Amino acid sequence: MRPSWPLLFLLLCQGLLPWALGQNVPAQERTVRNLEDQLNRAKALEEQSQRRIQILNQELSRLSTRVENLLKEKARLEREITRLEKERAALSRQIAQLKEEIRRTEGRIAQLEKDLESLRERLQALMRSLHREKAGRYLPLLRAQSFTDLAVRARWVGYISKQDADLVRALQATLKALREERERLSLLLTDLTAKEKALGETQRALEEQKKELEATLSSLEREAQGKRALLREALQERQRLQAELAQLQARVLAERQRLLELKRLEEERRRQEEERRRREAERRQAAAQPAPREASVVVPPPPLPATVGRLAFPVPGGRILVPYGQEGPFQVIQGPAPGSPVQAAAEGYVAGILFLPNLGYTVMLVHTETLSTVYTNLQEPLVQEGQRVERGQLLGYTGGGLLIRPEELEFRVAVRVGGETRFVDPSAYY
């Protein structure tokens, strides 16, 4: 007859499950709302991350454009600096040529001045000689043998004097031209030197500008590297948020589906409750009519088998808080404190263990073919299904359910009379 007890345990579970799930509907609704709030916050964070990525992309694009423009400006400056270097090199060659030409001109001027000074000394010596010997210059003429010879001699003396004077004038004119050329070359050298200096200053200014551009480019590159690092972090953060968002969406869908199932079960429970009330009303109405009371109630409960004896009180030091039948076919026993120990009422074996969040663990013990006990609101049991237990052996501790106070135990006793199994008042067996 042992297979009937698992069937009884299954019927017990089917009776407890809709009620427990029905009580979970508000909690499940809160869970769904919490998940939806988390989902909305995750969406807001994901949108914020997307905006941040867009801003970073725009800033990187702006930096890239600015860097590109600065690189173009740098290339232009480098071309300009190269051109100025070539012009300075050409000017340097021209200045060197001018200096060489000025040096040669000054050499020629110095030589002409020396020649002119020598010629002047000759003329001065001649003049002094003529002054000392005014008549002496004519002596060569007096020595002439004839008038023709005299005329020839006079002509050559005059020619020699004239040639010296012409030479002096030619030397003076050449010296003047050379000095003017030297002055022109000096002015040209000054102009070229000033132009070279201006080009050098322009080149230095461009090089300074190039250095500033390079410093700005380096700063922009560092800024771009920082932006790219931030962009990588933002992309990773968005990827993480998207994964979290997908998980939350899946959880929300699952919890919504579960809520719908709980509501369906709640509706089923209400329907069953209404059906139970209707049947109860019918039973009360039938009970109001004259009928033997013994036909529906076993009074007193059937005696326990001799092998069992009296049942041990399941909560040592506890008391009966709610009698059997007041809230259901069970007895509520209050322990000394939350987490009170629960013991086996008699020797037997563990027929089944059921966990419901609102009711905690439920343990069913089978003692004989006609007797079993059920313990509800346990924390994690200290026994396993199929295990043999002794009378008074510790099964666990109270406080496993959400809807039952942590110091209470719901205790049921089931007996089989004839072919029918029913719950009876446990107080008859203590």
Q: Say what percent of the chain tops pLDDT 90.
A: 24
pLDDT of residue 250: 87
Give ∠ CA 314-315-317 in degrees, rounded to 5. 135
Omega before 300 within 30 of 0, i.e. cis: yes
Residue from 377, 367, 263 nearest 315 by CA:
377
**Long-range Cβ contacts of 275-280 (<8 Å, 24+ apart):** none
Return the SS3 of 390. Answer: coil
For the chain, which domains are there?
Answer: 22-288 (1.10.287), 313-430 (2.70.70.10)
The pLDDT confidence band at residue 238, using thresholds 50, 70 and 90, is: confident
> What span, in angstroms and rounded, lies between the C-alpha atoms of 253 and 236?
26
Q: What is the pLDDT of residue 11?
A: 56
Q: Which of 110-119, 273-282, 413-422 has the highest mean predicted lDDT (pLDDT)?
A: 413-422
DSSP state of 410: E
**What is the predicted pLDDT for the residue at 340?**
96
pLDDT digits over 126-171, tens only? Answer: 666 655 655 454 555 455 455 565 555 556 556 666 666 777 777 7
Give the integer Cα–Cα distance in Å for 135 and 240.
130
Lookup result for tokens 């060569």: 140
Task: Give percent above pLDDT 70 in the chain.
Answer: 80
Mean pLDDT across the stretch 350-357? 89
Confidence class of residue 411 from pLDDT cuts 50, 70 and 90?
A: very high
Q: How far apart are alpha carbons 340 and 319 in whole angstroms?
A: 12
Mean pLDDT over the full length of the chain: 81
pLDDT of residue 18: 53
DSSP state of 398: B
Residue 7 has pLDDT above 60, yes or no: no
Greater model confidence, 19 or 338: 338
User: For residue 64, what are the CA distances in angstroms to 6, 51, 58, 209, 235?
Assistant: 76, 20, 10, 20, 19
Span 239-295, pLDDT tens digits? 888 888 888 888 888 888 878 877 887 787 778 778 767 776 776 776 666 544 443
Which stretches does DSSP call E strand in 252-402?
319-322, 331-334, 341-343, 348-356, 360-368, 371-378, 388-389, 394-397
For residue 300, what pLDDT band results from cuts at 50, 70 and 90?
Answer: low
With a CB cutoff of 8 Å and minimum separation 6, the contacts of 22 are 262, 265, 266, 269, 270
Residue 424 has pLDDT above 80, yes or no: yes
Query: At residue 4, does pLDDT exceed 90?
Result: no
CA dist., res. 286 & res. 292, Å (int): 11
Instruction: Please say if the pLDDT value at position 298 is more than 50.
Output: no
Residue 410 has pLDDT above 90, yes or no: yes
pLDDT over threshold 80, residue 9: no
Is residue 374 a contact partner of residue 414, using CB atoms and an 8 Å limit?
A: yes
Of 48, 220, 277, the residue nearest 40 (C-alpha): 48
Q: Are 161 and 137 in contact (CB under 8 A)?
A: no
Q: How does pLDDT run across 50-103, given as a tens digit for each residue?
A: 898 999 899 889 988 988 998 998 899 889 889 988 988 888 888 888 888 888
Residue-level pLDDT at 2 = 44
pLDDT at 222 over 80: yes
pLDDT at 314 over 80: yes
What is the predicted pLDDT for the residue at 315? 96
CB-CB contact of 324 with 428 (8 Å): no
User: Is 115:171 a contact under the CB 8 Å cutoff?
Assistant: yes
Q: Is the pLDDT of residue 316 over 90?
A: yes
Burial (CB count within 10 angstroms: exposed 0-12, middle 13-18, buried 19+), residue 189: middle
Name which of 139-148, 313-322, 382-391 the model is least confident about. 139-148
Residue 26, pLDDT > 90, answer no
Q: What average pLDDT does this structure show over 358-367? A: 91
